[in-house]
């Protein structure tokens, strides 16, 4: 009986949270089209998302591409097809690994920062003061972060794809002595526009997901500084799980569309 009661409580909390996140998303996206348009806030958030995450994303992408190339060479060598390492690495990065790994890394770094920032404002009653002065916390805090995330994450992913493919080329050159022109040609002939659209389309949604989840848990923060720490932890875990789950459904959708 206690187990059923616990499941019921968890289910109700989950449904309530989904409803709150959906409402926050609708309000945040609606704020994009409602004046005043504060581009300075958006540019600041773009800098936080982009410039602050670029080095981290590129390092991860470089070594991911190198590891992918090593494993691919090992697997394809069984069939004597190791020359196609560029095709396998590039397709894997552009369609899946690039978007997902970039989003998880940026989500862990930026999502936790969003939750901590808004959570601190919530526990110190700055959000309430903002409402009392007639300003909208959604318009001032949530909307710029959502817009910046949807703009920046696709750009970071494209950079990660290029760096990852380069990392794969380095391994292919040293391990197989493949001509770099052959490697580049194999990449260009394998990657199609639909593959690029699939990867970029995912990151637009992932960016929205990161911003909304970070803002949601930040606005729900209670319990002082302890509550802020708890919100940041929950944010990182939720973002990572949400990205991996939604990636499956988005992959299925893009395979149907393209």
Question: What residue segments make up the domains of the chain, in order of their start?
Answer: 37-257
Mean pLDDT value of segment 32-60? 85
The better pLDDT of the pair 36, 256 is held by 256
Closest to 122 measured CA to CA, from 141, 146, 106, 139: 141
Is there a contact between 235 and 112 (Cβ–Cβ < 8 Å)?
yes
**How many other C-beta atoms lie within 10 A of the C-beta of residue 82?**
19
pLDDT (0 to 100) of residue 248 = 95
* C-alpha pair distances (Å), 37 with each of 46, 78, 143, 148: 15, 58, 10, 13
The better pLDDT of the pair 37, 100 is held by 100
Q: Check pLDDT > 70 for residue 241.
A: yes
Mean pLDDT value of segment 146-169? 94
The residues near 32 (Cβ < 8 Å, ≥ 6 apart) are 143, 146, 147
Polymer length of the chain: 258
The DSSP code for 93 is: I
Rounded distance, CA 169 to CA 173, Å?
A: 6
Helix axes 143-176, 180-190, angle to 10 degrees: 140
The better pLDDT of the pair 49, 199 is held by 199
Q: Check pLDDT > 70 for residue 226.
A: yes
- pTM confidence score: 0.90
Q: Check pLDDT > 80 for residue 100.
A: yes
Rounded distance, CA 117 to CA 154, Å?
A: 24
């Amino acid at each position: 009986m206690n187990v059923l009661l616990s499941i019921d409580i968890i289910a109700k909390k989950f449904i309530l949270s989904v409803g709150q996140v959906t409402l926050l998303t609708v309000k945040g996206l609606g704020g994009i089209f409602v004046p005043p348009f504060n581009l300075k806030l958006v540019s600041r958030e773009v800098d936080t998302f982009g410039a602050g995450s670029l080095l981290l994303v590129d390092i991860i992408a470089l070594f991911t591409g190198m590891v992918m190339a090593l494993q691919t060479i090992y697997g394809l060598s069984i069939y004597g097809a190791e020359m196609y390492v560029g095709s396998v690495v590039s397709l894997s990065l552009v369609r899946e690994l690039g978007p997902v790994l970039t989003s998880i890394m940026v989500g862990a770094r930026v999502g936790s920062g969003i939750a901590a920032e808004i959570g601190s404002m919530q526990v110190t009653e700055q959000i309430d003061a903002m409402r009392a002065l007639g300003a909208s916390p959604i318009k001032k805090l949530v909307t710029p972060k959502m817009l910046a995330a949807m703009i920046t994450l696709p750009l970071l992913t494209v950079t990660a794809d290029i760096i990852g493919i380069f990392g794969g080329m380095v391994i292919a050159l040293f391990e197989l002595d493949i001509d770099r022109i052959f490697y580049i040609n194999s990449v260009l002939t394998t990657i199609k526009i639909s593959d690029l659209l699939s990867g970029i389309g995912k990151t637009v949604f992932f960016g929205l997901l990161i911003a909304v989840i970070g803002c949601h848990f930040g606005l729900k923060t209670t319990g002082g500084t302890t509550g802020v720490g708890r919100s940041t932890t929950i944010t990182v875990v939720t973002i990572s799980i949400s990205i991996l789950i939604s990636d499956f459904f988005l992959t299925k959708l893009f395979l149907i569309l393209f």
